[in-house]
A = this chain, B = another copy of it.
């Protein structure tokens, strides 16, 4: 993946939430639309664990972004009306400082010397970018999946800094099932002999572990029902060694192999480990001592919570918990439970279901 995002470096020490610091971190970001004279039309997007800041195409990078059908003229995040900002999460590997970056203090790649990463660090670094762009108060923060947690951190760490918050398939804190999945994903990478305790040869990274972690991820990003309709018991057609046992028999196995191959080469293994653990560690209740107290610290005019019936990673009961918490401090709270087939990933692939909801929230006239 070639990164064409803008970057900005913030000189000096950036203190990390759980200790340690980064020296002069760089953040990659992209923007679409025009900031109004009153500087009151900016929307900040926090992404899931894996995307870059390239949420949509632009003149400088015409390739499709990860939310291409959501951002643009006449789309729900209408760039004729809004100034949309996406930041590559701190700790990631698409232009922002992370474990794959060189530590300017040592001249070495951070690797496992990178401090413990948290959602609060991702939020604080995004706040620097927002300030750099000359924006004091955002029109809205939108967070998808892991980005819902970093977005929530942003809202509670900087109360009153955004008018609205949109949480998509996210949560206040991860459930043990999600922690179990991520923990095993990390173990798969760590046990790949090529991982070398984080000191892998970057031209020969722990791809087998990364691929298996991605396969496990796919089992929780999609839904059993989708796969039943899509694959059933269809056999794989391109089996290379049909006589060989324990290779691929079924289409679902070939699909997972294919998806794992696509993803794993492009993402740094250590960055993945840090972002994954940060997702486990986040607990909104730490911002007040209890969930109730944390919600009470928010200053929001409007919130929207979207969840999906088939999501097993961030299930509906977590969406209801978020909406109930927002409702106490923000009367204008809406909970939308979408009956999409594609599980947690629906916000990336079932755009026909998500577009009208986002469009309504931003009072647009969407295509």
Task: Report which A residues bind B (CB closer than 8 A).
Answer: 112, 116, 173-177, 179-181, 183-184, 186-188, 190-191, 193, 208, 212, 215-216, 218-219, 224, 227-228, 230-233, 245-246, 248-253, 256, 273, 277, 280-281, 283, 312, 315
For A208, the chain B residues whose CB sits under 8 A away are 191
Within the assembled complex, what's the spacing in Å between the Cα atoms of A175 and B223? 12
Closest Cβ–Cβ distance, residue A191 to chain B (whole Å): 6
Give the 8 A-B CB pairs with smallest separation, nearest first. Answer: A177-B224, A176-B252, A176-B227, A176-B231, A183-B253, A180-B252, A184-B215, A179-B250
CB contact between A177 and one of B184, B228, B245, B248 (< 8 Å): that residue: B228
Is the Cβ of B175 less than 8 Å from the Cβ of A245? no
Within the assembled complex, what's the spacing in Å between the Cα atoms of A246 and B256? 25
For A224, the chain B residues whose CB sits under 8 A away are 175-177, 312, 315
Is the Cβ of A246 less than 8 Å from the Cβ of B175? no
Q: Report the copy number of this chain in the oligomer.
A: 2
Closest Cβ–Cβ distance, residue A272 to chain B (whole Å): 11
Closest Cβ–Cβ distance, residue A197 to chain B (whole Å): 10
Is the Cβ of B180 less than 8 Å from the Cβ of A228? no
Within the assembled complex, what's the spacing in Å between the Cα atoms of A250 and B173? 13
Is the Cβ of B246 less than 8 Å from the Cβ of A273? yes
Is the Cβ of A219 less than 8 Å from the Cβ of B180? yes
Within the assembled complex, what's the spacing in Å between the Cα atoms of A355 and B184? 34
Within the assembled complex, what's the spacing in Å between the Cα atoms of A112 and B243? 12
Is the Cβ of B191 less than 8 Å from the Cβ of A227? no
CB contact between A233 and one of B193, B277, B283 (< 8 Å): that residue: B283
13 pairs, A vs B, C-beta closer than 8 Å: A173-B233, A175-B224, A176-B252, A177-B224, A179-B233, A179-B253, A180-B218, A180-B252, A180-B256, A183-B248, A184-B212, A184-B216, A188-B212
